[in-house]
Amino acid sequence: MNRQFKPYPFTAKHYAARVPQLKQGLDAKRHAVTIVGGGPVGLAVALGLANHGVPCVLIEADDSVCYGSRAICISRRSLEIIERLGAVEGFLKTGLPWTGGRSFYRDTEVLHFTMPQDENQKLPPMVNLAQYHIEQFLLDAAEKRADLIDIRWQTRVKSIESRDDGATLQLTTPDGDYALDADWVVAADGGRSTIREALGLQLQGTSYEGRYVIVDIELSSDRPTERLAYFDPSSNPGSTVLVHKQPDNVWRIDYQLRDGEDAQEAVKPENVMPRVQSLLDMMGEKGDWSPIWITIYKANALTLDRYRHNRVMFAGDAAHLVPIFGVRGANSGIDDADNMAWKLAFVVKGLASASLLDSYSDERVAATHENLSYGTKSTEFMAPPSFAFDLMRKAVLSLAVKHPGVRSLINPRQTSAITYAHSPLNAADADAFAAGPVPGAVLAEYPLTMAEGGHAREAHLTDLVGARFTVLYFSEEGDVPDSFSALAQALRQRGVPFRVVPLSARLHPQAKGEHAWDHTGRIFERYGAKPGTAYLVRPDGHVLGRWRDASAADVEAAIARALA
């Protein structure tokens, strides 16, 4: 039921299939990692592996990046990840940043919410960007890593044989069929995952009956970028409408169908166009507009029980389907990719036991359940699944008109960074901290100054995260104990990427090597730190452990435990 009326203001390049050198119908080379699915999640996994020097084959059934209306909102946490992948420039240049939104009940505003944004932040809390742009910017970065990322377009998976030592994929292309052997397979092939179906796995959870028509239109407007929600509007009485402004004068409109409406009839242009025009009239938008895309959506809250199945790893919509409310779909998939890539790279390189990948499943399944808990609440409010929920929503909206205290119940709970509070990798706190990110949390962002040899440059805490373990060592003199330097050398000799960054409360121009300066005076206090405190950070930016009086032995033991 997808209908396209005119091309988006974006033209995708089309790619031909490529068949590698074969030996008796089999790819002549066995590959360490094969990724199935070239959407945002698959591309993010490939780029993450490349950052660790691990090659992969990426298989995509289509011949270009996607078209149509899919993911449209990218969170700050995802932008942090994408920056480490080397692709953030296009996101920030083209995307439309926003910090909040408004909700209306009939013709009255009942909520104006804002997301956290202050002088400490480097990146906006959210940007609106269509998925075809998202994929293109990630693809541009992947093409620069062609030495490590082998992208094979127009290649579909017919079947998979999974074994204890790897998997064999049977592939088909316009130029012929062949088989491919891989040590590891990443299934990032979407909600209708061929790999998931071939392995006989099923998503579990709730599928909601409420349906939304999704309409992309082209409209020139000076209206600011913010998330708009209309409950029981005159344009669609009794239902809900969501509106997002996107780049290139494209607007995404989602409106709920009433009970009993026929889905086939609902997406016909003669039924869609009057509703959109009525909405625009209500909003006061007088400009000419034209439809680009019409489709229909039904909310799902579904997940696999486990995301690792022997040598096959699941990520994104292949692993879970999250309701669109709160924009957790693509963002949770990018988080999957970030979590998986470093762990898979360490396993492939022989630096960690394969059981490290079980922690990927543990952490991301827990994250999905957290996302689903918020997404489910939002779905039940946006599209009430029963008379009781509908009655509750009407009561809340009616009260919110005159009682501001009730308005928090309307908040859509936008996506935010997940804390892996119960991760098996966490080193439990041995000391009491008055503040700071706990083990399993991501670094709290603050600006700092990087200094070395009399030169200084502006930076942020998240800039210190890379394809390695990082120790943030709080120091009086801008240096670290010899034992930490010795640990860094020993780990690097074993091939474990590791870095110690001293963070001082004042600038030390003569300090040996590069150090970070807390020029705002905020980081020591907000991290509950004193000279001698250390935070150990994973390659994905989550805190692995922290110590008020740190020793190199503490850090070494935490890393050894995680990798073992």
Helix axes 40-51, 76-84, angle to 10 degrees: 40
Task: Provide the pLDDT for residue 403.
Answer: 72
Cα–Cα distance, 425 to 88 (Å, whole number): 29
Q: What are phi and psi of 367, to 5 degrees?
A: -65, -40
Candidates 132, 96, 137, 135; CA nearest to 249 is: 96
Is the pLDDT assigned to residue 320 strictly greater than 70?
yes
Whether the predicted pLDDT of 88 surpasses 90? yes
Percent of the chain past pLDDT 90, that is, above it, reads 71
Output the pLDDT for position 263: 85
Angle CA(523)–CA(117)–CA(75) in degrees, nearest 5?
105
Burial of 259 (0-12, 13-18, 19+ CB in 10 A): exposed
Domains of the chain with bracketed CATH: 29-94+123-200+301-377 (3.50.50.60), 205-299+381-410 (3.30.70.2450), 447-563 (3.40.30.120)
Looking at the predicted structure, is the pLDDT value of residue 414 above 90?
A: no
- pLDDT > 70 fraction of the chain, expressed in percent and rounded: 94
Report the pLDDT value the prediction gives residue 377, as an integer from 0 to 100: 66
Give the DSSP per-residue string, 415-447: --PPP-TT-TT----SS--SSSPPTTSBPPP-E
Q: Residues 238-252: pLDDT tens digits?
A: 888 999 999 999 999
Per-residue model confidence (pLDDT) at position 178: 97
Predicted local distance difference test score (pLDDT) of residue 514: 82
Q: Tell me the pTM.
A: 0.95
Per-residue pLDDT tens over the stretch 142-175: 999 999 999 999 999 999 999 999 999 999 999 9
The β-bridge relationship of strands 455-460 and 312-314 is unpaired
Nearest of 459, 418, 420, 467 to residue 85 by alpha carbon? 467
Task: Supply 342's token pair.
Answer: 């470093």
Predicted confidence at residue 185, as pLDDT, reads 98
Confidence category of residue 326, pLDDT binned at 50, 70, 90: low
Using an 8 Å Cβ cutoff, are 364 and 333 in contact?
no
Residue 380 confidence (pLDDT): 64
444 and 461 in contact (C-beta within 8 Å)?
yes
Q: What is the pLDDT of residues 186-225, one digit of tens each?
A: 999 999 999 999 999 999 998 877 788 999 999 999 999 9
What local confidence, expressed as pLDDT, does residue 236 receive?
A: 83
Per-residue model confidence (pLDDT) at position 40? 97
Other Cβ atoms less than 10 A from the Cβ of 432: the count is 7
Mean pLDDT of 541-552: 97
Sequence-distant (6+) residues with CB within 8 A of 65 are: 12, 38, 132, 135, 136, 139
Asked whether residue 383 carries a pLDDT value surpassing 80, the answer given is: no
- CA 557/CA 555 separation, integer angstroms: 5
Cα gap 385→355, rounded to integer Å: 40
pLDDT in tens, 336-362: 999 999 999 999 999 999 999 999 999
Dump pLDDT digits (tens) for 433-465: 999 999 999 999 999 999 877 678 899 999 999
**Residue 375 pLDDT class (50, 70, 90 cuts):** low
What is the average pLDDT across 284-296?
A: 93
Instruction: Please work out, in degrees rounded to the nearest 5, the angle formed at the alpha carbon of residue 368 by the alpha carbons of 397 and 417.
Output: 80
DSSP 3-state of 109: strand
Q: Across the chain, what does the average pLDDT equal?
A: 91
Alpha-carbon distances, residue 402 vs 15, 225, 241 (angstroms): 57, 26, 22
Range with top average pLDDT, 59-68, 291-300, 355-364: 355-364
Residue 440 near residue 420, CB atoms below 8 Å:
yes
How far from 57 is each of 180, 387, 547, CA to CA, in Å? 10, 50, 40
Cα separation of 422 and 420, whole Å?
6
- Check whether 59 has a pLDDT greater than 90: yes
Tokens of residue 512, six digits: 């040996």
Q: For 473-532, write each residue's pLDDT tens digit.
A: 999 888 899 999 999 999 999 999 999 999 998 877 666 678 899 999 999 999 999 999
Assign 8 to helix, strand or coil: coil
